[in-house]
Amino acid sequence: MSTATPTRAPHQDVPTAHKPGAGRVGSGLFDARQLLKSFPDAVRKLDPRVMIKSPVMFVVLVGSVVTTGLALKDPTDWFGWAITAWLWLTTIFANLAEAVAEGRGKAQADTLRKAKTDSVARRLTQDGKGEEQVPGTELKIGDLVVCEAGDIIPGDGDVVEGVASVDESAITGESAPVIRESGGDRSAVTGGTKVLSDRIIVKITTKPGETFIDRMIALVEGAARQKTPNEIALNILLASLTIVFLLAVVTLQPFAIYAGAKQSMIVLTALLVCLIPTTIGALLSAIGIAGMDRLVQRNVLAMSGRAVEAAGDVSTLLLDKTGTITLGNRQASEFVPVKGTTEAELADAAQLSSLADETPEGRSIVVLAKEKYGLRERHQGELSQAEWIAFTAQTRMSGVDVDGKRTRKGAAGSVITWVKEQGGHVSDDADLLANRISEAGGTPLLVAVNDDKGARVLGVIHLKDVVKEGMRERFDELRRMGIKTVMITGDNPLTAKAIAEEAGVDDFLAEATPEDKMALIKREQAGGK
C-alpha cells in the first residue's frame, strides 16, 4: 500500500483557532437554562425521605404542608396564603440550589454517555469481505471493526491485523502516540482513543456496558458525595437548635391561652420557621454554588458544593500532567542543526518534510518554522509536482520528493536507516544532539535530505511537552499555602522528571496506569491527607 499522495499539502485547510468562548457552559445559580433543567430534580427532592436528612428544612416542609391545609380551609385568609407561599419558596429554593450543584456533576457523565452513544463502528460482515456501520453500543465480543487514521476506536479490544499509531492521552495521560500492532503485548486498545495513522482491525473483547468509558460513567455517577466533618458538625448544631425552638413554640400556646391571646397555627408555624436557623439550612447549598461558580470561571468543575468545602482541607494536590500541567501534546520547541548546516536551512527542510505529517507533532513543526523563522507554508500551486510521503507507523517518517530533492523527517532510527540506504553517512554530532535531547526528557526527530550533495542529516528537532505558562508560579503559591503538589503521568521516568522540574511540582509518579492513579489517591487518603 503506497503512502505517497501527490500535489496536495495536507495542512493548508487546517483551521488555526476556535472561536473564543465556544461551547462555554453558563454558570451561576441564576442561569435560566440551568434552573429550568434542575427544577424537576428540586421538586423530586420534596420527598420527605430526602428532606429528613436536613432537619431544619424538613421542619419547613412540614410547616408548608400544615399552612397549605389551613389556607385551603379558610381561602379568604390572605395572611395564611402569604405565609404558605413564603414557606414553599424557601423549601424549593433550598432544593433548587442543591439540584443545580448536582446537575453540574451529572453533565460530566452526560458528555461521556453522548460520546459513547454517538460513536459509529465499521464492523466487518460475516464473510469478511464487506463493512457495515453500526452504533458502538451494539458491538459484541468477537466483532471485528476497522479503524483508520482519524477514527475513534469504538470499544475495548485487541488488534488482530495491521499496525497503527494511536493517541491514548485521554486514557493514560501519555502525550506521545503509541504503536499498537497485532500479536505480543502491544495489541490491546481502549475505546475512546484515536487512531493517528494507518489501518488496523480490532477484535472487540469487552461486553456492552463494561468498557472503559462505561466504567468512567459509573465512577462519575456513583461518586460518593460524603458530608465533610464541618457539615456534619453544623447539621448536628442546627438539629439541636431546631428541637429547642420547636419545644419553645409548642409550650408557647398554653401560655397564650392562659393570657387570653390564643394564636393560630399559621402564626405559630411562621414563628417557628423564623426562630429556627432556616437561612443557614437553606443556604448551605447556595453557598456551595457561589464557590462552584468561581471555580467554573477558572475551568474547574466540582461535583457539588460539598466538594468546594472539602477543598479547604486539601493538603495534597494530585495533578494529571497531560492537559493540566502541559498543553496536551508534544510540540516542537527548537531546531538544532549539525555542524555545517544553518538553522534556516534546517527549519526550511523541517517544515517542508512535515507538511505531510497530520499528527499534532507534525503540525507544531510547521507552526514553529513559520513563527520563529518567518517561513510561510507552501501551497499546492507552488509545489505542483511534489510527491508527499505521509507519516506511517511502519516507516515513522514523513517527507516530500520535489525538484529532484528528497527530504525526510522522523524518528532517529528510521531517518538514520534511510540516510544509509541512500548511500549517505550520519555525522557524530547528530547522535550526540539526539542523545542530549533524550536525556533532557525530550523527543528527538532527525531531519535528512538527499540532493546533489548526497544524503545527510541536517539536524535535530526537539519535541517536548510544553508546560503551560505560569504553572511554576501557581505551584509556588500552593506551596506557600502548605499544599504539596504531585504530578501523575504515563510518561517514562526521565521525561516525567524533566517536566516535573520545569513545572516546579514537589513530586511525581511516572508510568502510571489508571489503576496506579487510583491506588495513589487511596494511599494518600488513608494517610490522613
Q: Tell me the per-residue pLDDT of 62-115, one tens digit each, with 9 for 90 and over.
A: 888 888 888 888 888 888 898 888 888 888 877 777 777 666 656 656 666 665
Cβ neighbours for 33, distance < 8 A, ≥ 6 positions apart:
26
- Write down the mean pLDDT value for the chain: 78
Predicted pLDDT of residue 366 = 85
388 strand-pairing partners? 5, 400
Helices (H), 207-277: 212-221, 229-258, 265-275
* Residue 491 near residue 356 (C-beta atoms within 8 A): no
DSSP category for residue 110: H
Predicted pLDDT of residue 348 = 87
- Give dist(CA 44, CA 47) in Å, integer: 6
* Residue 20 near residue 401 (C-beta atoms within 8 A): no
Rg (C-alpha) for the chain, rounded Å, is: 32
Residue 33: CB atoms within 10 A of its CB come to 9
Residues 428-469 pLDDT 10s: 888 888 888 877 778 888 999 988 888 889 999 998 877 888
Is residue 491 over pLDDT 50?
A: yes
Residues 398-411 pLDDT 10s: 888 887 888 999 88
Is residue 485 over pLDDT 90?
A: yes
Task: Give the up-direction half-sphere exposure of residue 151: CA atoms within 13 A in the CB hemisphere.
Answer: 23
- Give dist(CA 29, CA 282) in Å, integer: 14
Q: What is the pTM of this model?
A: 0.47
pLDDT class of 293 with cuts at 50, 70, 90: low
- Give dist(CA 379, CA 168) in Å, integer: 32
Task: Give the up-direction half-sphere exposure of residue 197: CA atoms within 13 A in the CB hemisphere.
Answer: 26
Helix axes 265-275, 229-258, angle to 10 degrees: 150
* Residue 374 near residue 347 (C-beta atoms within 8 A): no
What DSSP letter does each residue of 390-401 carry, written as one string? ---TTT-EEEEE
- Give dist(CA 46, CA 50) in Å, integer: 7
**Selection from 136, 82, 81 nearest residue 113 by Cα:** 136
pLDDT class of 16 with cuts at 50, 70, 90: very low
Per mean pLDDT, which of 219-228, 271-280, 416-425 is the most reliable? Answer: 416-425
166 versus 286: the higher-pLDDT residue is: 166
Helix (H, G, I), strand (E, B) or coil at 402: strand
Predicted pLDDT of residue 77 = 81
Is residue 23 over pLDDT 70?
A: no
- Give dist(CA 504, CA 181) in Å, integer: 37
Query: What does the pLDDT average to over 13-20?
Result: 36
Instruction: For CA atoms 76, 79, 81, 84, give the dihedral sign.
Output: negative
Predicted pLDDT of residue 303 = 58
DSSP category for residue 374: -
For 39-43, 139-143, 213-217, which range has the lowest pLDDT when averaged over its residues? 213-217
**What's the grid cell of residue 330?**
508534544
Is residue 479 over pLDDT 90?
A: yes
Predicted pLDDT of residue 262 = 82
Catalytic residue check, 401: no
Is residue 174 over pLDDT 70?
A: no
Predicted pLDDT of residue 294 = 66
pLDDT class of 1 with cuts at 50, 70, 90: very low
* Residue 163 near residue 180 (C-beta atoms within 8 A): yes
Residues 219-246 pLDDT 10s: 555 544 455 566 677 778 888 888 888 8
DSSP E strands, 470-514:
484-488, 507-509
- Give dist(CA 448, CA 446) in Å, integer: 7
Please report which helix (H) or strand (E) contains residue 320, including its range.
Answer: strand 316-320
Predicted pLDDT of residue 506 = 93
Predicted pLDDT of residue 185 = 63
Residues 294-329 pLDDT 10s: 665 565 656 555 666 677 788 899 988 877 888 766
**What's the grid cell of residue 155?**
470499544
pLDDT class of 203 with cuts at 50, 70, 90: very high
- Catalytic one of 320, 401, 431, 506: 320
Query: What does the pLDDT average to over 393-397?
Result: 79
- Give dist(CA 269, CA 278) in Å, integer: 13
pLDDT class of 3 with cuts at 50, 70, 90: very low
